[in-house]
Structure 1
Amino acid sequence: MANAASGMAVHDDCKLKFLELKAKRTYRSIVFQIEEKQKQVIVEKVGEPTQSYEDFAASLPADECRYAVYDFDFVTEENCQKSRIFFIAWSPDTSRVRSKMIYASSKDRFKRELDGIQVELQATDPTEIGLDVIRSRAC
């Protein structure tokens, strides 16, 4: 089913991998890419449960847009283990204008396909998705 705004479909694998991250915690992160020729969002790579947030952030391309989901574990001030699922719309300033427009116009529909996202971030450079930002938004 293509998105009317941008014409992008969402590959079933995107939803399946997200469900595995959410329900089974099979993955720590998922990076999604828009395949422009096929006009669909696909899974580019997944992060193992042991992956650190720094490794995940470093895995985002420096000059290409991506969507990403990260399952962030943290401890509250009451000493409770918690987890938040972050959706990150990664759109570096150095990426192509066409790419930024496609990702921006497809984001809301794609995000609706992933039921269970708790926090959304939009970022154009690594400082906007630093660990301190993630921690502050998680609580």
Structure 2
Amino acid sequence: MHLNLLESLKTLASPLHLLSLVLMYRNIELPSTSPENFELTFEGKLSQDNRWVIMANLIPWSEFEAEYASLFSEEMGAPAKTFRIAMSALIIQERLGISDRETVEQIRENPYLQYFIGLTNYQI
């Protein structure tokens, strides 16, 4: 399953070279956090058995980050989001079969999705 996921990610990421013409990229390392350290406003904990937690831990985000960053200019255009944020949003959208706007709303409302995209705490 891990290999299939990596191949799928590479396939999804391949058209991103077109973005390099208009977007700038600043490689900002988001701190990595474990589900038990993800801060929730109600002092709860994320379940290790949640599908989004499991999937987040299967994907080698940092392995793809350098290749993704190389597709963008450091000086031109608006800064792009990190690979993890961009790819995880696409994965969420595809898995749930939802629109761009609904993807944003789902991420805004769901701490598991916020963990999946790489945030370290729940942001309302």
**Alignment TM-score, normalising by the size of structure 2:** 0.31
The structure with more helix, counted as a fraction of residues: 2
**Alignment TM-score, normalising by the size of structure 1:** 0.29
Q: Which has the higher contact order (CA 8 A, sep 6+)?
A: 2
The structure with more strand, counted as a fraction of residues: 1
